[in-house]
Structure 1
């Protein structure tokens, strides 16, 4: 399993972001799709010897999207977009400017999630116990989203496409639930999505299609076939197999992203499950599809602190569908989307 990718230590207290001020003008699905293809082609400005480029691909950046609230319902939400390579920010700004409607305001600003989400510090000494009862220490609550695949390689199938949420007035984008939850939050809360361009897995997709068409997709199917080989079939009659083949064909294996999404809130002591997070845990259920879904876990204590560190350091956890741990507990990991 590859180690997570971390931008910078959480002790850093400022970064340059693009701050978005949206309007009621909706996003255009075709524009979103086109600009995300361009986002995938962004490279970092990191210098490397010319001979290294013969053996390694160009470094790929991590793109960060944030929604933040200070917990005051009368204060508007803040929308930020950033990148882990400061020298690529101007290029990112050009792409974001084209991605959103012209009515959106877009400005560069200095900010950092740690300014809104200071790490709660417990009282160190027992002699301070009386003071902690008067001024109890705030706690961290966190929600983290995971991709859950029916089969280990079903991450290669589709989530619900963006345009499906814009086809009628009865549907809405999954992010709307997060915006509503943060707009009504009563404690400082930050939602983060990290996008990192994923490798070209065209060969993996072709190999998967070959196995699906021959009924050799699962280990059990391959074990049976090794003993009782099945005759060549003219076509595929199984509806589930046809669904997987259709969704594989619709995916763009050359332009996909690893996606990490999480939420952290600084809550009042004793508030083990704040209502502010209730609408967030189910926000991406509508994006789930036939073989691949997005689940959420709500965490506190040490796990919430770990997610807090991941958020403030822009840590990207890479997919681990093929690791032994994933095989034992079932195929559930960070999302790969295209």
Structure 2
């Protein structure tokens, strides 16, 4: 009599399918939500946070110049190293930040992509950035930090936690960073059924840490910012965007935030939460969260990531 073979452990796809089948109907996903939380930094009493300055008109002027082939970067641009920091799932997306890096390199700039874990924890990635800044200092270099999405949060966090590194940093550019928090991340982390899904899917599919999503929720960002405010004397430019268009790949998320909360968002981050206090801000209402880091299909996007990055760096290096 043959011995029965042991039962096979279900594969990743089977486990994911089983997990999805166990989710409740959509109306029960809502959870407590984040109504009224977006833009909380804007409601901090006057004097407690430095004001922002709107550079949107100047952005469009420089963008037109870039599209016409005119130089916009100041002469000093070649003196710095540009450390680019990827956002959530950046390691999983082909072409992510590729145009951004290539554009700066074509302008003769020294570009380094930080070796952060895009699904890793904030403090672990801050440690990576701290080492990059110390290395630059060792070789007598000054640095311009450029971070997209979660990467922008990490750029500001390393200077909030280690303000002495201000001496190494010439400027900071945040592109669609959920500095104040992410409504999508908040709802994923605070809705029990969705939290179980990311606890299951993140380690399995991306070898990531699901707590990295929770770190972008409003309570955790509030606690971090209150304990570690961003230094006000660092030249910083923030890109804050929104879009509500069926042509956007993120339209379902844009519609979700619009219909549930009336939040203007780019599909991942509300425009209000992307503004770093004290920064010079570019506010666009026709860009989704992917367009600053990934080239869109023709006819679906209005911006080229390389153009956006070049203009934002130029703005960051201009004297306020």
Answer whether TM exceeds 0.5 for this pair.
no
Higher relative contact order (CA 8 A, sep 6+): 1
Which has more radius of gyration? 1
* Bigger proportion of residues as strand: 1
* Bigger proportion of residues as helix: 2
